[in-house]
Amino acid sequence: MTTTDTTRATAPATAPGALPLPAGAARAATAAGAVLTFASTFLAWTWTGAFPGNLTVTGYPGGLQVLTLTGALLTTLFLLAGHGIRGLRWLTPGGTNSPVVLLALGTAAVTWYAAGAIAFTLGGLVNLEPGGWLAAAASLLTAVAALGLPADTPADPEHPPTDPWQRLRHSLRAPAPARARTLPSWAEILLIAAAFAVALYVFTYGIATEYGELFVGFLLLTLLAVPALAKAGLLRRVTALTAKHRNVSITAAFVAAAAFPFLQSDNEFTSIAVNILIFATVALGLNVVVGLAGLLDLGYVAFLGVGAYTAALVSGSPFSTIGVHFPFWAAVLTGAAVSLVFGVLIGAPTLRLRGDYLAIVTLGFGEIFRIGMQNLDGISGPSVTNGSTGVPQIPDLELLGYNFGEPHTLLGFEFTRSANYFWLMLIITVVVVSVFRRSDTSRIGRAWVAIREDETAARAMGINAFRLKLMAFALGATLAGLAGTVQAHTVSSIDPEQYKFVEAVPPNSAFLLAAVILGGMGTVGGPLIGAALLYLIPAKLQFIGEYQLLLFGIALVLLMRFRPEGLVADRRKQLEFHETGQLDVPDTDGDTPGKPGLSKAEA
């Protein structure tokens, strides 16, 4: 038997479940609950169409029922894959029961949220039809029974999870053993293409949700389904394949993103995607400053404003006080260059500060920029920016005769203004990602990481910390200015209020910093995912009103508690937050469990 066959044949070890249920009974109850949950989506959940999604139809799932159906189907598939169905074993190359637990909990969360939303919107539980009651009971049965399944190999084999709370934490945090299987190259490329196609479909579904309740349900299921796929080992397998076929993966990612406008029937969703790309690009620029160099910048949105104002003033707006009209390429280069100059001018006198002092200075710069743009109105100061009015009627970009503001037809599809700017912003995002990746892997990038980890030690090793920090600050400012030039033409009107430290709609400095930390500092995918979430959530949860920031804050607290390294973390951050750093030393006297080499008195 070869090494690969041995690895594949080895089943992951298990420990007792968190509930006093025999493994067979827990497995049978989980399967029965999942099947009943699946069947309940074909029944009416309420009697009136006043609740969005048309949940009154029997025999055809709709709205939140589709999410419950998806969760129940995935729970069943992973349950079968982990227990004897050969054709589905590829679904669980890592863990077996932990993915089932997470998917069952996600399905229950969506279903109970739907029942609660129906009762709240329509005025009581009496508005639930038998299908709704069946869905709630069956999903709860599935989640409870899944907690009774044997736990996959725990982090501490001598102390397996003994209650549901520990079982859930184990499902989220315990490492999954990998079982790799060698595939032909063509099959691996097909898997990469399928993974990006699924990611595109999920993103398209989330951004195109028609009402807030459906988006909340989508979030609940996704936030537990993604860790489930990670625990199953699928995400790790896809990551390994993308690293192996890097050029194919980059091409597949670009093609999937470029195909997004083809899947949209509403211009509003494409416009949201354009703003997400702008937000994500600026977050990547901030990731150079915060994630790589470790410089806490609280006024970073000012560099976005510098690029936007520069492009607005030189792009031929009738309200521009300069009165010039640069072509597209010149406006972009001018905006990036002016942002670079501001980055050097602000960084040179301030980057000798560290920590909180640097954060306060950058916060002050952000506010100075906003107030300065407001006062350059010809009354409080020179007439440059029109003050609080800003620069409206910024003309659309035009490149080689292609006007981005006019609709165009391609392959029988008619694309609007938003689709044109989406493709332009996608190209700029690719450029920024390339710059970030090359900077990260370069000698300068390694020096930035050394400064971030310990500036004193880096200086002792001969690194010119001030010069390198100034380079990071200037590079981050340039990338933000580059995105700002496109933002000015996309929104067609800018004013100082768009660049506050905290604003209801991102991008702003607080949300940019949250996107970097939430997604994962020092990574490429982290800020992209964090920016997408932080832009979509306020845009989709407007029906919550004043409770929006409260729920957002609670979500951030929970995420920082259970995944402090971010949604996408590099190996260094995972070790920093989840490893003690102490070697396992045998207990020499055996007197004190858990305190190797110490006596009871010393402990």
pLDDT per position as a tens digit, 503-561: 656 677 788 888 888 888 888 888 888 888 888 877 777 766 677 777 777 877 877 77
Q: State phi, psi for 544 to the nearest 5 degrees.
A: -75, -25
Terminal Cα distance for the chain, rounded: 49
Q: What is the mean pLDDT of residues 315-338?
A: 87
pLDDT per position as a tens digit, 106-152: 999 999 999 999 999 898 899 999 999 999 999 999 999 998 888 76
Q: What is the pLDDT of residue 574?
A: 64
Question: What one-character DSSP code corresponds to residue 530?
Answer: H
And the tokens for 57? 């139809």
As a dihedral over the C-alpha atoms of residue 269, residue 272, residue 274, residue 275, rounded to 10 degrees, the angle is 180
- Do strands 402-403 and 398-399 pair parallel, antiparallel, or not at all (unpaired)? antiparallel
Q: State phi, psi for 552 to the nearest 5 degrees.
A: -65, -40
Q: Under CATH, which number does the domain 265-395+414-578 receive? A: 1.10.3470
298 contacts 363 by C-beta, under 8 angstroms: yes
pLDDT per position as a tens digit, 424-446: 899 998 888 888 888 888 899 89
Cis? peptide before 593, omega within 30° of 0: no
394 contacts 492 by C-beta, under 8 angstroms: yes
* Residue 172 pLDDT grade (very low, low, confident, very high; cuts 50, 70, 90): low
Q: What is the pLDDT of residue 584?
A: 43
As a dihedral over the C-alpha atoms of residue 586, residue 589, residue 590, residue 596, rounded to 10 degrees, the angle is -40
Q: What is the pLDDT of residue 236?
A: 84
Question: What one-character DSSP code corresponds to residue 380?
Answer: S
**pTM, rounded to two decimals:** 0.80
pLDDT per position as a tens digit, 41-99: 999 999 988 898 889 989 889 899 999 999 999 999 988 887 766 667 777 776 678 88
Among 18-22, 323-327, 493-497, name the one with the lowest average pLDDT.
Answer: 18-22
The yes-or-no verdict on residue 214 having pLDDT over 80 is yes
What residues pair up with 14 in beta bridges, in sequence order?
152
> What interhelical angle do 509-519 and 267-287 show, nearest 10?
80
Residue 183: count other Cβ atoms within 10 Å of its Cβ: 14
- Do strands 408-410 and 413-415 pair parallel, antiparallel, or not at all (unpaired)? antiparallel
The yes-or-no verdict on residue 289 having pLDDT over 80 is yes
Look up tokens 């005769």; give the residue. Answer: 401
Classify 545 in phi/psi space as left (phi over 0), alpha (psi -120 to 50) or beta: left
Residues sharing a CB contact under 8 Å with residue 29, sequence separation 6 or more, in sequence order: 21, 141, 142, 144, 145, 148
Residue 452, SS3 per DSSP: helix
* Residue 581 pLDDT grade (very low, low, confident, very high; cuts 50, 70, 90): very low
Among 185-199, 345-359, 405-419, name the one with the lowest average pLDDT.
Answer: 405-419
The yes-or-no verdict on residue 416 having pLDDT over 90 is no
Q: What is the pLDDT of residue 408?
A: 75
Average pLDDT value for the chain: 81
pLDDT per position as a tens digit, 344-402: 998 888 888 888 888 888 888 888 998 998 888 878 778 888 888 888 888 888 877 77
The yes-or-no verdict on residue 488 having pLDDT over 50 is yes
Segment (H or E) for 574 = helix 571-578
The domain segmentation of the chain, as residue ranges, is 16-248, 265-395+414-578
Q: What is the pLDDT of residue 594?
A: 41
Q: What's the per-residue H, E or C state across 58-94?
A: CCCCCCHHHHHHHHHHHHHHHHHHCCCCHHHHHHCCC
User: In the chain, pLDDT over 90 holds for what percent of residues?
Assistant: 22
Q: What is the pLDDT of residue 468?
A: 92
